[in-house]
Structure 1
Amino acid sequence: MFLLILSVLHTVLAFLGILFNAIFVCLTVFYSPKSIGTFSILLTVRGWVDGFACLFDIFSQSRPIPSGLTLGIASTGICKYLNDWSCFLGYGLQLHFHCFSFHLLILCFLFRYYVLLERYPKSKQLIFIICLIYFPSFFQVLFVLIDNNKPEDVRLLVQIHHPDYQLKDFVVNGHVDLRDFPCLFSYLLMLIPIIPGCILIHVLRRKIHSKLRNAILRPEIREKHRQLTLALTVQTVIPVAFVFSTISFLLSQSKLIESPVLESFTLLFAVIVPVINPLLSIALIKPYRDTLMRAVGLDPKEWQFMSRDCSVAPGDASSSMFGSFDNSSVASVTSMTSKFSMTQEINPFE
């Protein structure tokens, strides 16, 4: 019964993730103001990636089953009505998009910190960087799919290690031996960056906070930055879901805890991230939030407390919590006698 509940929860979360990200992509493509600039490209790509991660979660409904040196992948999604290979493909692509989404989250923080130091990157430069950080995710899914073993061999080994598991209604794929180079390389490429990536995000948030705290700004601008810091703090919590997903997998793989429920949590934690990402972005970016509110029949002017929290200054309807990304938005900070002096007093970014 509990596994059925987890399956329903998987489906509901993934469906909501697809819906939220579809709305978010439409907003970034058609309603991104000039104040956001090239950052809208990064937001659009993240929306697509998160949406596909949810789509393949519904398609495969996979559950990794560590069984000694064997890793079984039990799937109950739509793919079981096609063939065994489609289930394994869906599982591999789901991991792929989760991996790429995490790398894009790190890039978002790098972008924000870079804008405080230099001029914002041009569209071609940002697209090139996105393509560059895509390669680790590409190799990860490539090596996972290369190491697909015969389903009957994997099922037999899984049943030997877990004779009490009822896998009759599952499509079982996976890897016979995790020590094989393609398999080992692909999973290490996905698992190892999680903790360092979370640490890097935390460090970047502190550096951004420090930069803003030492800047000489007008009171209304400083309040805007206080809201920015809150937004950054909230976003640093998102990758924790990937950490829990990694812990669930490692606990199962190390045989410290062998439970179908824990195995199901591995990808359940991961799918939470692409559901939360678009919601936070829409809530924190004023033009997107106002557009969506009007679409559902709400008047943004009636929600003055939200406008006051997220706008750059009172009455500034074109700005968002991400501030302005044009060339004039970058404050030049120089060190003089252990103090910061601003050559321009302008709006960094959000």
Structure 2
Amino acid sequence: MIDWPLTIFEVWHYTVNTIGISFNALLIYMCIFKTPRVIRSYAVLILNFAISDFGACITDLLVGQRLIPAGIALAYISNGPCKYISGTACYVGYSLMLHFFAHSLWSLLLSFAYRYYILFHPSPSRTTLAIIICIVYTPSFFQWTTFLMANDDQAKVEVYLRNRFPNYDFDNKTITGTLNILESWQAMFTILPMTLPVTPAYCAILILRKKIIRELASVAGTMAKMSHATKTMHQQLLRALSLQACLPFFFSIAVASYAIGQLGIYNSPVLEYLTFSSLLFIPAISPLISIYFVRPYRTTIILWYYRFRATKMRFVIKPPTTTTQLFDGESGTKKSMFWNGTEYQSATRNSRSQQSNHY
């Protein structure tokens, strides 16, 4: 008999993780090799996002975790390739995955705080941003290392699950978990940071987004002669902010599906698979937003497309000349990049109103 929830779960995870791994790898390449000097500072934040999301997709693909909240116990069934190694390997991969998702949420909040900060101040240096990222990452790192000690004996966890869920199929499953999360501070140190801060962080992101939009509208209102390119950049920034502000919503779905089971309200394989299936939207969508709205990266993709067409059709197609508005540099100046084939020529022009245009 086909286990339809598991089949749908596996198809979904393999598909979305493949997309997420591919685009995050592409974004990492862009950040390292295709970032113009004028946006190298902000690219540190983008690279941090890409690495975190790439790690989340890789570990989720290897683990394929089904989360089973069961009263005071919390168990996991690993359906990924890690099951061919050992339950311990699956648990280590799972703890790594959780810490990547946690860091991704705080990185998103940091990104919005950065965008609001540079409306009034010069962009921080790459070294400063790297130090801030390390500070933000520290809680996630300790969450990962402490959670490794919360894994109980697999045989005991399986016996507990069979008694609590006699209708579930636990034959030939790789099972790990914690028998009593209330007595395990290591487990609580992961559960609480993964659930409680989601709503406050989401509210803070929405507040910062509102403040950024208000400031951009104020700047636009004082510029009677704002160019069409500048207006377009403002509109693109607002669209990027709106899309990124939606990402924590998927985190909220995951927390809700987990809480319903852990509180004993309702247990179902669908909810148990939904927890991490909904989380996968974040690392899959986030790199697409960055690649599309960061103009130098999007321009690179367009250039690659023309080269591919030229190679495929066996003759050279020269792309049309376009003007690409880039980000602010650390000095607060604006670069206007003229793309003609593979050559870039830059002309600097000062514009205080453009300090917020990082997308």
TM score, norm. by length of structure 2: 0.86
Q: In structure 2, the residue corresponding to 1:263 is in which secondary structure?
A: helix
Whole-angstrom CA distance in 1 between matches of 2:58 and 2:201: 25
8 Å CA contact 1:191–1:246 kept in 2: the answer is: yes
Report if aligned partners of 2:74, 2:181 keep a CA contact under 8 Å in 1.
Answer: yes
Report the Cα offset of residue 255 of structure 1: 1.9
Measured in 2, the distance between the counterparts of 1:344 and 1:229 equals 19
Partner SS state of residue 149, structure 1: coil
Tell me, in whole angstroms, the C-alpha distance in 2 between the residues paired with 1:265 and 1:300. Answer: 47
- Given that 1:329 and 1:346 are in contact with CA atoms closer than 8 Å, whether structure 2 keeps it comes out as no
Q: Which letter does structure 2 place at the counterpart of 1:192? A: L
Cross-structure match for 2:42: 39
Q: What residue in structure 1 maps to residue 19 of structure 2?
A: 16
Q: 1:47-80, CA deviations, whole angstroms, 9 ceiling, x for partnerless residues?
A: 1110110001111111110111110111011111
2:137 is aligned to 134
CA contact (8 A) 1:290 1:300 kept: no
CA offsets per residue over residues 189-214 of structure 1, 9 Å max, x none?
Answer: 12111111111110011111111111
Query: Residues 207 and 329 (structure 1 numbering): CA distance in 2 closer, same or farther, change over 3 Å?
Result: farther
Call closer, same or farther: CA 1:345–1:40 in 2, change over 3 Å. Answer: closer
Counterpart AA for 2:55 = F
Q: What displacement does 1:16 show?
A: 1.3
1:130, 1:18 → 2: CA distance? 22
What residue in structure 2 maps to residue 175 of structure 1? 178
Paired amino acid for 1:226: Q
CA contact 2:41–2:330 (8 Å) conserved in 1: no
**Secondary structure class of the residue paired with 2:328:** coil
Tell me the TM-score normalised to structure 1 length.
0.88
1:155 alignment partner in structure 2: 158
Listed as ranges, the gaps of 5+ residues in structure 1 are 305-314, 331-342
> Secondary structure of the equivalent of 2:68?
strand
- Aligned with 1:36: secondary structure? helix
**Following TM superposition, by how much is the alpha carbon of 1:219 offset from its aligned partner in structure 2, in angstroms?**
4.0
What are the ranges of 5 or more consecutive residues in structure 2 without an aligned counterpart? 310-316, 335-349
Question: Could you say what secondary structure the match of 2:169 adopts?
Answer: coil
Q: Does 1:188 pair with 2:192?
A: yes
Identity %: 30
Q: 2:217 aligned with 1:213, yes or no?
A: yes
After the TM superposition, which residues 43-62 of structure 1 pair with which residues of structure 2 at under 5 Å, given as runs? Answer: 43-62=46-65
Contact between 2:103 and 2:140, CA under 8 Å: does it hold in 1? yes
- In the TM superposition, structure 1's runs of 4+ consecutive aligned residues that sit over 6 Å from their partners are none
Contact kept in structure 2, 1:148 and 1:174, CA below 8 Å: yes
Cα distance in structure 1, aligned partners of 2:245 and 2:110: 13
- Which position in structure 2 is the counterpart of 1:113? 116
- Aligned to 2:200, the other structure's residue is in SS state helix
Residue 301 of structure 1: how far off its partner (Å): 5.5
Quick one: distance in 2 between partners of 1:78 and 1:268?
Answer: 17
Q: In structure 2, which of residues 74, 84, 87 is the aligned counterpart of residue 84 of structure 1? A: 87
CA contact (8 A) 1:10 1:61 kept: yes
Instruction: Return the letter of the residue paired with 1:51.
Output: F
Structure 1 CA distance, aligned partners of 2:82 and 2:69? 21
Cα contact 2:333–2:351 (8 A) shared by 1: no
Q: Distance in 1 between matches of 2:318 and 2:14?
A: 32
User: Per-residue CA shift, 1:262-296, capped at 9, x if unaligned?
Assistant: 11000111111100011111111111112122223
State the distance in 1 between where 2:329 and 2:199 align: 30
Of 224, 233, 239, which residue of structure 1 is paired with 2:242?
Answer: 233
Q: Deviation at 1:19?
A: 0.9
Aligned-partner SS, 2:354: coil
1:3 is displaced (CA, Å) by: 2.1
Q: Does the CA contact (< 8 Å) of 1:7 and 1:61 recur in 2?
A: yes
User: What one-letter code is carried by the residue in structure 2 that aligns with 1:111?
Assistant: Y
Contact 2:125 2:330 in 1 (8 A): no
- In 2, the alpha carbon distance for the partners of 1:259 and 1:205 equals 36
Aligned length: 324
From 236, 243, 259, the counterpart of 1:250: 259
Q: Residue 285 of structure 2 is aligned with which of 276, 280, 284?
A: 276
Cα distance in 2, alignment partners of residues 300 and 235 from structure 1: 34
Contact 1:62–1:75 (CA<8 Å) still a contact in 2?
yes
2:233 maps to which of 224, 240, 254: 224
Aligned-residue RMSD, C-alpha: 1.9
Tell me the residue number matched to 2:67. 64
Match of 1:308 in 2: none
Residue 277 of structure 1 aligns to which amino acid in structure 2? Answer: S
What do the CA deviations read for 1:110-166 (whole angstroms, capped 9, x no partner)?
111111111111111100000000011112112211111111111111111111111
Q: Which residue of 2 aligns with 1:347?
A: 354
Q: Is the 8 A contact 1:293 1:300 kept in 2?
A: no
Q: Against the structure 1 CA distance between its residues 329 and 161, is the aligned structure 2 distance closer, same or farther, given a 3 Å change threshold?
A: farther
- 1:300 deviates by 10
- Alignment partners' CA distance in 1, 2:130 and 2:158: 42
What residue number does 2:331 align with? 327
Q: Offset at 1:93?
A: 0.6
Distance 2:318 2:23 in 1: 20
User: What secondary structure is seen at the aligned counterpart in 1 of 2:91?
Assistant: helix
Shift, 1:36, TM fit: 1.7
